[in-house]
A and B are shown apart, each in its own frame.
Chain A
Amino acid sequence: MAQAPALPAGFELPLEARLPRIGAVDAVALEERAASLAKRSIKREAKVLALLLAIRTTDLTTLEGSDTPGKAAAIASKALRPDPSDPSLPSCAAVCVYPNLVPAVRERVAGTSVKVAAVATGFPSGQYPTAVKVADVRATVELGADEIDMVIDRGAFLSGRYAKVYDEIVQVKEACGDAHLKVILETGELGTYDNVRRATLLSIAAGADFVKTSTGKIAPAATLPVALCMLEAIRDVYEETGRRVGFKAAGGIRQAKQAIQHLVLVHETLGSEWLTPQLYRLGASSLLNDILMQLRKERTGAYQSGDYFTLD
């Protein structure tokens, strides 16, 4: 394989020497591979297992300005027991909310396996002073968040100030303490797969526990090629250093079919080791209902209606 110029001139990314070379992404091949993996035929039994896995790895999300503690509590209840008529279904991995709603969720999920995730650092734009972002993270952790979903400063990244992006992640990671840090790249704003790969490696180098595709606030969000691009970067890091970094696909995943395609992608790129809530998440809100409808369809044989599932 031809060796692309490793770093462009003026690239100030403080990468450790042992990190894999950054390289360039072959967009055509990437999209082709993502598309071919999406065409896999998943037969019924495997489909049910994949859907159950999708529930276990879902961060059930609500990120609206109109969210209330009541709605957050309702979402938390749904994450605990997705379908009250079928107690055999697993719980979701986490509930993802704005910082102010962390206590409401915390109260509902305390003592269970469901984690509390919160977005911070001036979500969704990230266009705030570093001190504000760090304070945001500290406050959110104090409120009881187990996981912090931060956004990178895309403005800084796109204007080549990689060191600022890197330093912010380092500081936020420090502010997180024991909380897990997921770094949102907002790939829809990064423009190219090269940028996505670069931002992924930069976030990993700065200490991210997870890298996450998008905020869910803009489209395109978690497309399959973008997910594949990030997964390959995670794979390269793992092969080079042995470090396991998690991946969260979020934004635009509304149908069970899409969720399964994402799971196939992870399985083919990183292997089944990554298919656990510790290393893989799906960020979604309406996806869960579609999965529940699919599962009930498999159980009863009849196609389902949204009328019989909770709205949130």
Chain B
Amino acid sequence: MSERLPVRKTYKLFIGGSFPRSESGRTYEAEGQNVARASRKDVRDAVRAARGAQPKWAGATAYNRGQVLYRIAEMIEARVAEFAELCSGRDEVERSIDRIVWYAGWADKLPQVLGGSNPVAGPYFNFTVPEPTGVVAVLAPHDPPLLGLVTRVLPPLVGGNAVVAVASEDRPLAAIELAEGLATSDVPGGVVNLLTGQHAELAPVLASHMDVNAIDIGGANGDASELERLAADNVKRVVHGRADVQSPWEIASFLELKTVWHPMGQ
């Protein structure tokens, strides 16, 4: 009997819940593999998918969002060994899982902590309610490949935003592995979109995209001032995300605070 030929994996993008190749057909070499090199049209498609998916994700109950995020952690937990090979090791995977669980717990606590009822001088109730800002672009830090991505994607996600993230340019495989976890963990298609490719090429497209409401340029190469200038066109929120941080204020960076007045009835 001839020797079995193992099935080799084609590393693709994650857009709208499916795994397409780059529309450009291009690839680049990273970690010894050919990885899809996303083009500006892939960015366009990913933002369109995110915009389509965002209202339903934001409209899901906080409890439900928390459950879905918790399930991402479950999915990774079952594949720790595989993830460990694609990043710095088991420790990074476990910290990523813990971070996902930590943020999942925040889903139903945000309104109480970040919002509130405000004292006003008049016969009114006055509430502050946090709302997602919309579509958030994330340039993931180059290192650590998995924990950095999880750290930057979870805060906008738990707040009800849809995310278009560009994975670490040099070490994108962990991101693709994570995409497979996302696809099997009830995260609705389009809520998280992961692109692999060159940050220098994709970042300006995301920063200038009028349908992106906030951009995290923590993983941008070199000078970020040009990206900030492009982001100013539609007054995007610009966040300089750090690769290893865990705080409810990270979530608040991607929320809008809406103030509501309501008359006190008799």
A: residues with CB less than 8 A from B are 301-308
Contacts and interface: CB of A to CB of B under 8 A. Distances in A.
22 contacts: A302-B208, A302-B210, A302-B230, A302-B233, A303-B43, A303-B47, A303-B205, A303-B208, A303-B209, A303-B210, A303-B211, A304-B210, A304-B211, A305-B51, A305-B209, A305-B210, A305-B211, A305-B234, A307-B210, A307-B211, A308-B210, A308-B234
B227 to A, nearest CB: 13
B214 to A, nearest CB: 13
Interface in B218-234: 230, 233-234
Nearest to A293: B210
Contacts of A304: 210-211
Contacts of B211: 303-307
A267 B19 CA distance: 36
A306 B54 CA distance: 14
A307 B51 CA distance: 11
Interface residues of B, number: 12
Main secondary structure of the interface of A (DSSP, over half): loop
A61 B244 CA distance: 52
A302 B236 CA distance: 14
A308 B209 CA distance: 12
A260 to B, nearest CB: 16
Interface string B36-47: 000000011001
Interface in B195-212: 205, 208-211
A305 B47 CA distance: 10
A307 B44 CA distance: 16
A303 B51 CA distance: 13
B44 A303 contact: yes
Nearest to A308: B210
B228 to A, nearest CB: 15
Nearest to B40: A303
Interface in B34-68: 43-44, 47, 51
Instruction: Kindly list the 6 A-B residue pairs having the minimum CB-CB distance in the complex, ordered from nearest.
Output: A305-B211, A302-B208, A305-B210, A303-B209, A304-B210, A303-B44
B79 to A, nearest CB: 35
Contacts of A305: 51, 209-211, 234
B45 to A, nearest CB: 10
A142 B47 CA distance: 48
Contact of B208 (A301, A306, A307, A308): A301
B138 to A, nearest CB: 17
Given A303-B47, A305-B51, 20 more contacts: A301-B208, A302-B209, A302-B210, A302-B230, A302-B233, A303-B43, A303-B44, A303-B205, A303-B208, A303-B210, A304-B210, A304-B211, A305-B209, A305-B210, A305-B211, A305-B234, A306-B211, A307-B210, A307-B211, A308-B234
B49 to A, nearest CB: 13
Contacts of B51: 305
Contacts of A303: 43-44, 47, 205, 208-211
A69 B107 CA distance: 45
A256 to B, nearest CB: 13
